[in-house]
Amino acid sequence: MTLPTRSYAAFLFDMDGTILTSIASAERVWTAWALAQGLDVATFLPTIHGVRSVETIRRLGLPGVDPVVEAAAITAAEMEDVADIAAIRGAAKFLATLPPERWTIVTSAPRALAERRLAAAGLAIPSQFIAAEDVANGKPAPDCFLMAAERLGVAASDCLVFEDAPAGIAAADAAGADVVVITATHASDHRVDGGRHAIGDYDGVTIAADGPDRWRLGRE
């Protein structure tokens, strides 16, 4: 498990599986939906992570199913199921050390659901963050990370992205950002092949100034 050695102007965080764990909640809701649609749950569930609900449903091409309507119903169910959502270890402490104007969240969840999950996990909600409804093309398209960098006033290539899902990693790569893979909620696997930087969680991760408007990660 390694951290990058260069400094960055901003830090972008996926939400689910990256700064909080909501897998149990999401998989309960999606399992019920998949069973109602006659899908094979074991095959289907791995496809839901890291992408917008409407795109997950749309790519199935189910006859008579309106992806927008179904996605809204799934979001409503997920809003009610937050009992076991929790922050990834060390995430709250680490986020609190970041310069407020130089970090944000970039999630495939709708804004209302993101705010609900962040509150359930006891995590800070940035004044601005990128949610599902903010972009025309969700992950793995780079749009969300490019938009986040623009809002923070920096180049995407000068951002460090924290991600856990293949779609998000691909989106960050396409945006030209560096990536740290969070392995807390998924076993370390092909996501960290090729020498990618990865950490299990944020316990002991520090940040320090490294010149004007630049910061570098380290370890306690």
Residue with token string 């940040």: 207
Helices 143-152, 166-175: axis angle to 10 degrees equals: 60
Residue 69, CB-side half-sphere exposure with 13 Å CA sphere: 3
- H/E stretch holding 97 reads helix 91-97
Which residues, 6 or more positions from 67, have their beta carbon under 8 angstroms from its beta carbon?
A: 54, 55, 57, 58
Q: Check: CB of residue 126 under 8 Å from CB of residue 32.
A: no
14 noted as active-site residue: yes
- H/E stretch holding 171 reads helix 166-175
Pick the catalytic residue: 16, 143, 164, 201?
A: 16
16 noted as active-site residue: yes
Per DSSP bridges, beta strands 86-87 and 20-21 are antiparallel
Task: Name the residues annotated as catalytic.
Answer: 14, 16
